[in-house]
Structure 1
């Protein structure tokens, strides 16, 4: 199963700073909680990857400028 495989799973994503100076991505789905902590530099790299993926998706014909 790859990144392009669709799944019918709902999940919640929260993003914020921790009291230890990390950036936390907190994912909750089907009773499972996954906290993922990154130092600020790693978080910046992840943000750049998300922006690049959004640009590529737009070029591939994805939703243009719409947000949920």
Structure 2
């Protein structure tokens, strides 16, 4: 199992600030699973950069498949 393993699980993702100055990623999956993950603002910015880098890399993979 890994990042490339497809799963048939539905989940919702919410992102927002907490009243304690953290950034929360809140994942709610089928079956009542709730995962709150809190990050310092600097950590959240690093995660955002990683997401942008992954999106850029995914675009490259997608364009290779279309050829």
- Fold match (TM-score > 0.5): yes
* Deviation (angstroms), 1:3: 0.4
Indicate the residue corresponding to 1:20 in structure 2: 20
Q: How does 1:1-68 map to 2 (within 5 A)?
A: 1-30=1-30, 31-61=32-62
Gaps of 5+ in 2: none
CA RMSD in angstroms comes to 0.9
TM-score, structure 2 length as denominator? 0.90
TM-score, structure 1 length as denominator? 0.89
Higher helix share: 2
Gaps of 5+ in 1: 63-68
* Deviation (angstroms), 1:28: 0.2
Larger Rg: 2
Equivalent pairs counted in the alignment come to 62
Consecutive aligned runs of 4 or more in structure 1 exceeding 2 Å deviation:
none
